[in-house]
Chain A
Amino acid sequence: MKKSRLLVAAVTAGGVLAALVGCSPSSGGGGGGGGTVEHATNCTNKLVVKSAPTVTVWAWYPNMAKVVDNFNNAHKDVQACWRNAGAGGPEYDKFQTAVSANKGAPDVVMLEADHLTNFEIQNALVDISKYGANKVKGNFSAGAWKDVSSGSAVYAAPIDGGPMGMIYRTDIFKKYGITTPPKTWDEYAADAAKVKAAGGPAFGDLGANVPAAMMALEIQKGAQPFVYDYSAKPKDISIKLDDQGSKDVLNYWADLSKKGLVGKQDQFTTDYISGVVNGKYATYISAAWAPGYLTGAGVGKGQDKGKFATAPLPQWDPANPVSVNWGGSALAVTTQASDKALATKVALGLYADPASLADGWKTQTIFPLNQNVLKSSEFINAKIDFFGGQTANKDVYVPAENAYKGFTYPPFTVYYYAQLQNQLTAINAGKIDGAGAATALQAQIVKYAKSQGFNVK
């Protein structure tokens, strides 16, 4: 009896110790072992050259396993150790926590262009122009390069772009007699009314949870929401969210939403995808990466195979078309990387080899920003299966990308998007009109910026 009790006590004590040890930071775990370049463990991929120093990477490209293998097979002096820390928001939250804690961040992190400034101002990203980033500048368009730079500083290697277009269902257009896709937003609204009058489905969708898309659409009408230059004046920002352009665009969508011409469904949800598959939306105002996402979610495979096509984004003024961007991503080097030159080498080389790029664009996982691909005739003339063999790159996305001039993002994107999302939800609920939402948003964001210590102009 006594012996067995002792045994139990010993086992319990051992268990507690093990639990405590398990929690110590030395075991790495979710941290990804930032800073310990030589001893990175817990990679999702297999390291090819085990003796080489490793660089930890967080990224969520669906074909990342192949991309990492391509890189590691081609490099003897450095190996990428990849982990998927979540797509978008979840990864930003983890990265943000690691930045705040000053530990636990990877050496290289995948970020969307609109989130770079947010981390630049927290001194979380390295200016990689010091480590030779400008050598690859020629591979990218001016707009793409502007999105990852601040003045002469460069904070990430551009990988993926999001030139916007209008994806539409050919079967719905045909059924309701729309012979040519709308070229202007006025035509878009008129067609929407026509389909609705004939008892058809919603023409599009005002998803409150895609504020980045709404910001792009506002910029298309001439809005310039933020003027900010981190490298020159990190404390000065100009905020203009209630200009006429923004009000017009928000009013336009509020009107469509109120009349029931577009859906009010959040996007990237099962409900939305189910609606897309079942033909509940005639169009999807989205970016070049959308087909890859939709295919991955199961769209265009069964009953709705070959029913999608794409057209250029409708314009406000067809004489002066404006090209805008939604999403797109880049690889940044974090200040927690112990060997920043080596990390830069990985960031610049990881998704830059022909095999990875080809795999990326052929599966529509990415819309490559690398000009070597953008200008290749194979890419331009590719017949995209999702769009029933349409040469979508040539028709829509390459011209859109070439005309894209770059945006300026605020240093508090997450907060701004959350507030814009609240306003879009209120618009969908019929509680506020577009102009009212713009005014409220301006007041909120200015107040927040001031509370964060910015000089607001």
Chain B
Amino acid sequence: MTQIAAAVGTDDRTVRSTRIARRRSPSQRRASRRQALIGWAFILPFAIVFAVFLIAPLAYAFYLSLFTKGLATGTQFSFFGNYVQAFTDPAFLKGLWFVVRFVVVLIPVQMAVSLAAALVLDAITTRFARFARLTIFLPYAVPAVIGALMWGFLYSPIFGPTQQLASLVGANAPVLLGPDTIFGSLVNVVTWQWAGYYMIIIYAALQGVDSTIYEAARIDGANAWQLAFRIKVPMVANSLVLILVFALIGTLQFFSEPQILRPIANGTITPDFTPNIYAYSVAFSYAQFNYASAISFALGFVVFLFVFVFLFATRKRGSVFA
């Protein structure tokens, strides 16, 4: 990373010096302006899409969130009233508390699984390793919606395989989507879905490590465990931080899996289960687009807060955005 930064630095200097050199001739200045225009032209398609599909909707949603509309009243400008309501709304806070707990449990589990898989796959070099890598990655290739539907079947206490297993020993199938079990069941689904993807990121980072370092460590008498935990893990710390940020953002916005499992969860997954599901219900079922926009922005603020605090805490090691 520092190497790259240094390289960028030199580049910058070179560019600056050439610019100074070019200032001498008017025809050259015209040429450079033309070059700048070409540069803008290249990012124009992206800039348009970015502005039309991200900046504009965000701005519009923020504008909406400043108004209040009741069924029996008209629309009124309420400034930050919706935000005050959101942060005192038990439904929103309940969902927020759920995703925060989910982050605390899910992310360590997910990291441990993907790190372990990556270290093992990095250590072995048989043909089996390639097959195993593909298999572990496969769940990520399954669309989240299909994955959730699949797990819905697997969890079903009436016609799923758990029922068949339970009936072998003459017991009733466990209710895996009940109020007490839903948390673990969802952790399982999400870990299954994402661990393979994170594994690939860590694995790729491991592949990038110079193998002479391992050789040196071995000569110094390091065993396989020491190699893994003293050399490899610190070497891929950057990727781990990156994964954590990804997982943090994704998990706080938890939506697809519970939304898909909702119809078969016997009411366990309520319309205010997670903040995003709550925003969806408030907008599209209760017709309160203004309040839903405020909830979305409130959630965005919480996500920003988490990521900021996290990056601040890991600033010494992490250099994700530095």
A residues in contact (CB < 8 Å) with B: 12-13, 16, 20, 89, 92-93, 96-97, 99-100, 121-122, 208-209, 234-235, 264-266, 268-271, 274-275, 411-412, 414-415, 418, 421-422, 424-425, 428-429, 451-454
- Find residues 275-322 in chain B having any chain A CB closer than 8 Å to their own CB: 281, 284-287, 289
Binding-face segment, B12-20, B117-125, B153-161 = B153-161
Q: Please tell me if the beta carbons of A412 and B286 are within 8 angstroms of each other in the complex.
A: yes
Q: Please tell me if the beta carbons of B284 and A93 are within 8 angstroms of each other in the complex.
A: yes
CB of B131, distance to nearest CB on chain A (Å):
34
Q: Please tell me if the beta carbons of A271 and B156 are within 8 angstroms of each other in the complex.
A: yes
Q: Please tell me if the beta carbons of B45 and A428 are within 8 angstroms of each other in the complex.
A: no
Interface: B271 (CB within 8 A): yes
Q: Please tell me if the beta carbons of B284 and A429 are within 8 angstroms of each other in the complex.
A: no
CB of A34, distance to nearest CB on chain B (Å):
17
Assembled-state Cα–Cα distance A326/B292 (Å): 30
Interface: B71 (CB within 8 A): yes
Q: Please tell me if the beta carbons of B179 and A429 are within 8 angstroms of each other in the complex.
A: yes
Contacts of B270 in A (CB 8 A): 418, 422, 425
Interface: B268 (CB within 8 A): yes
Q: Please tell me if the beta carbons of A415 and B70 are within 8 angstroms of each other in the complex.
A: no
Contact with A along B124-146 (1 / 0, CB 8 A): 00000000000000000000000
- Find residues 43-72 in chain B having any chain A CB closer than 8 Å to their own CB: 45, 48-49, 52, 70-72
Contacts of A429 in B (CB 8 A): 178-179
CB within 8 Å for A452 and B45 given contacts A270-B264, A274-B159: no
CB of B187, distance to nearest CB on chain A (Å):
20
Q: Please tell me if the beta carbons of A418 and B284 are within 8 angstroms of each other in the complex.
A: no
Q: Please tell me if the beta carbons of B159 and A270 are within 8 angstroms of each other in the complex.
A: yes
Q: Please tell me if the beta carbons of A264 and B266 are within 8 angstroms of each other in the complex.
A: yes
Closest chain A residue, CB of each to CB of B73: A453
- Find residues 1-59 in chain B having any chain A CB closer than 8 Å to their own CB: 45, 48-49, 52
Give the size range of B's interface with the partner: 20 to 34
Assembled-state Cα–Cα distance A421/B281 (Å): 14
Q: Please tell me if the beta carbons of A414 and B267 are within 8 angstroms of each other in the complex.
A: no
Contacts of B234 in A (CB 8 A): none
Assembled-state Cα–Cα distance A93/B71 (Å): 16
CB within 8 Å for A16 and B45 given contacts A93-B285, A414-B285, A454-B72: yes
Interface: B250 (CB within 8 A): no
Closest chain A residue, CB of each to CB of B287: A96
Contacts of A99 in B (CB 8 A): 287
Q: Please tell me if the beta carbons of B284 and A97 are within 8 angstroms of each other in the complex.
A: yes
Contact with A along B155-173 (1 / 0, CB 8 A): 0111100000000000000
Q: Please tell me if the beta carbons of A266 and B71 are within 8 angstroms of each other in the complex.
A: no
Q: Please tell me if the beta carbons of B72 and A428 are within 8 angstroms of each other in the complex.
A: no
Given A266-B266, A418-B270, A452-B73, 10 new contacts (CB under 8 A): A12-B45, A99-B287, A122-B287, A235-B72, A411-B71, A411-B72, A412-B286, A422-B270, A424-B267, A425-B270
CB of B190, distance to nearest CB on chain A (Å):
23
> Among the interface residues B52, B264, B281, B284, which one has the most CB atoms of the partner chain A within 10 A?
B284
Assembled-state Cα–Cα distance A46/B26 (Å): 68
Minimum-distance CB pairs A-B, first 3: A425-B267, A453-B73, A453-B70
Q: Please tell me if the beta carbons of B157 and A271 are within 8 angstroms of each other in the complex.
A: yes
> Among the interface residues B71, B158, B271, which one has the most CB atoms of the partner chain A within 10 A?
B71
Interface: B174 (CB within 8 A): no
> Among the interface residues B158, B159, B266, which one has the most CB atoms of the partner chain A within 10 A?
B266
Q: Please tell me if the beta carbons of A453 and B72 are within 8 angstroms of each other in the complex.
A: yes
Contacts of B159 in A (CB 8 A): 270-271, 274
Interface: B108 (CB within 8 A): no
Q: Please tell me if the beta carbons of A454 and B287 are within 8 angstroms of each other in the complex.
A: no
CB of B194, distance to nearest CB on chain A (Å):
27
Contacts of A266 in B (CB 8 A): 263-267
Chain A facing B: main interface SS: helix
Q: Please tell me if the beta carbons of A270 and B70 are within 8 angstroms of each other in the complex.
A: no
CB within 8 Å for A121 and B266 given contacts A12-B45, A96-B285: no
Assembled-state Cα–Cα distance A96/B280 (Å): 12
Assembled-state Cα–Cα distance A229/B160 (Å): 48
Assembled-state Cα–Cα distance A298/B196 (Å): 38
CB within 8 Å for A414 and B286 given contacts A269-B264, A270-B159, A271-B264: yes
Contacts of A12 in B (CB 8 A): 45
Contacts of A453 in B (CB 8 A): 70-73
Closest chain A residue, CB of each to CB of B49: A16
CB within 8 Å for A422 and B287 given contacts A235-B72, A453-B73: no
Q: Please tell me if the beta carbons of A275 and B158 are within 8 angstroms of each other in the complex.
A: yes
Contacts of B49 in A (CB 8 A): 16
- Find residues 239-270 in chain B having any chain A CB closer than 8 Å to their own CB: 263-268, 270
CB within 8 Å for A415 and B72 given contacts A266-B267, A269-B264, A271-B159: no
Q: Please tell me if the beta carbons of B266 and A265 are within 8 angstroms of each other in the complex.
A: yes
CB within 8 Å for A425 and B72 given contacts A16-B45, A93-B285: no
Contacts of B157 in A (CB 8 A): 271
Assembled-state Cα–Cα distance A100/B263 (Å): 25
Contacts of B48 in A (CB 8 A): 16, 20
Assembled-state Cα–Cα distance A274/B157 (Å): 11
CB of B89, distance to nearest CB on chain A (Å):
10
Closest chain A residue, CB of each to CB of B158: A271
Assembled-state Cα–Cα distance A209/B269 (Å): 11
Contacts of A269 in B (CB 8 A): 263-264
Assembled-state Cα–Cα distance A199/B168 (Å): 20
Contacts of A412 in B (CB 8 A): 71, 286
Contacts of B286 in A (CB 8 A): 412, 414-415
Closest chain A residue, CB of each to CB of B71: A452
Contacts of B284 in A (CB 8 A): 93, 96-97
Assembled-state Cα–Cα distance A275/B163 (Å): 13
Contacts of A418 in B (CB 8 A): 270-271, 281, 285
Closest chain B residue, CB of each to CB of A209: B267
Contacts of A16 in B (CB 8 A): 45, 48-49
CB of B281, distance to nearest CB on chain A (Å):
7
17 contacts between A and B (CB under 8 A): A20-B52, A89-B285, A92-B285, A96-B284, A100-B289, A121-B71, A234-B72, A266-B263, A266-B266, A269-B263, A271-B157, A271-B159, A412-B286, A414-B285, A414-B286, A425-B268, A429-B178
